[in-house]
Amino acid sequence: MGLFFELWRAKFRPKHLAAATLRPETMYGQTNAWVLPNGRYGAFEVNETDVFILTQRAARNLAYQGFFRIPEKPSCFIELTDCTDHQFGDKAAEKVCGDLKIKSQNEKEKLAEAKRESEKHVVSRSGDECVVAQTEQWYIFYGEAEWKTLAEECLSSMNLYSDVTQHGFEHTLSWLNQWACSRSFGLGTRIPWDEKYLVESLSDSTLYMAYYTIAHFLHDGDMYGDSTTSGVIPEQMTDECLVRISSRIILTFCIYNHTTIMLKKHWPRGYRCNGHLMLNSKKMSKSTGNFLTLRLAIEEYSADATRMAADAGDGVDDANFVFDTANAAIG
């Protein structure tokens, strides 16, 4: 009824059934169109004259994009022979269907895998769904050959306590290449050559140890250098222990950054990595909205049940905190 009402309001305006595709040039020979049977579609104004029939999610994504008419003879087209991928040959769809042994259109799971994209659903810390935007960005070229050789040399001399961890870092070094290192909002240090951008904290926070070499010049008891004493005497401090706690997913950056800035004697000596904590068989992450705070876990399941989940992740394998299992254990 809602769709009918919207269409009635826009009855004198051009309406378009906008299809989602990664290959717009193939639409001219289209023989099939799929409509989600249980989907909720609406009529959305995309400009002053045209109306698109879309889902609300698609309309929201399009709201962040510009609309323009393609010239009759665009000069930016290239010959198809100039952009072939020999891995797929000249029949990409046939190649993928053959690899996945897809025999018919009814094999939904295999077809979904064939069309799978690397982008994932992302939720902000405020709980809002994020929209991916292509923006100007600075990158660190981690895959540069000479730098990569230094990183591999550092890794070969480190104690990683596990063959699984060793192979994991070797694999990451094999593919890690350009990585975004800037952002346009928040707190942080301005990029010297382009001050409208900030240094992404992930790019500079893997050199914690470098700060300690100058800390005694910058501080005198507190973070602002105003106090004459910290209130802690040397006798109250424990013996020195060179341990840093970090996420294993950024430790490859740590290797790269140390090898390019620090002398070899200051390179990382070893990593002891453990698994992530899974929540209901999914990675616990604020970006996806799937997380549980320590306080809430203790209040809901008790300290003992929470400790058991933490201890289960002591190895490289991920610990999986399942609500049903926790409830059964304390029931």
pLDDT 10s digits, 31-88: 777 788 888 888 888 777 888 888 888 888 888 777 666 666 655 555 555 555 666 6
Domain residue extents for the chain = 2-77, 139-266, 277-330
pLDDT at 256: 92
12 torsion bin: left (phi>0), alpha (psi -120 to 50), beta (else): alpha
Alpha helices per DSSP H over the chain: 2-9, 56-62, 92-99, 108-114, 145-156, 163-175, 201-204, 208-212, 215-218, 251-261, 294-311, 323-330
With 0.75 as the threshold, say if the pTM is over it: no
pLDDT at 149: 95
pLDDT 10s digits, 208-247: 666 766 766 666 655 454 555 555 566 666 666 566 666 6
Half-sphere exposure of 142 (CA within 13 A, CB side): 21
